[in-house]
Amino acid sequence: MPIGNLEALYEWAERDDPGYRLVIFVTSWLASELGGRGWAAPSVPMLPREGEPHETRIVVIPNTEVSVIYDHEHEHDSGRVELLWVGSAGGDT
């Protein structure tokens, strides 16, 4: 399942200017790991939402200091992922 909204990714790249290689790595990781497995580790739910059709999750992308907060729709196994925020794992950007 493709990622539905990449605006947060573009905002991060413009705001933090992380460098071309990191942007490419993060973009590739998101497409391969979250694209069809938005529910899987290393991401974790931010708030428990039993019975809800979607949940907000957070992941620190392995081998980086980049955090991604996203909404994962799991109703009807659509697996749709909407990026909400991308930024430094330790920062407050």
**What's the token pair of residue 1?**
């399942």
In a domain, 20, yes or no: yes
Query: Which one is predicted more confidently, 2 or 59?
Result: 59
| Structural domain of 74 | 3-88
In a domain, 93, yes or no: no
In a domain, 70, yes or no: yes
In a domain, 56, yes or no: yes
C-alpha distances in Å from residue 5, one per residue of 8, 10, 31, 45, 85: 7, 10, 12, 19, 10
pLDDT digits (tens, 9 = 90+) for 44-84: 888 766 667 778 889 999 999 999 999 887 655 566 788 99
When divided into structural domains, the chain yields a total of 1
Confidence of residue 91 (pLDDT cuts 50, 70, 90): low
pLDDT at 36: 67
In a domain, 83, yes or no: yes
* pTM for the whole structure: 0.81
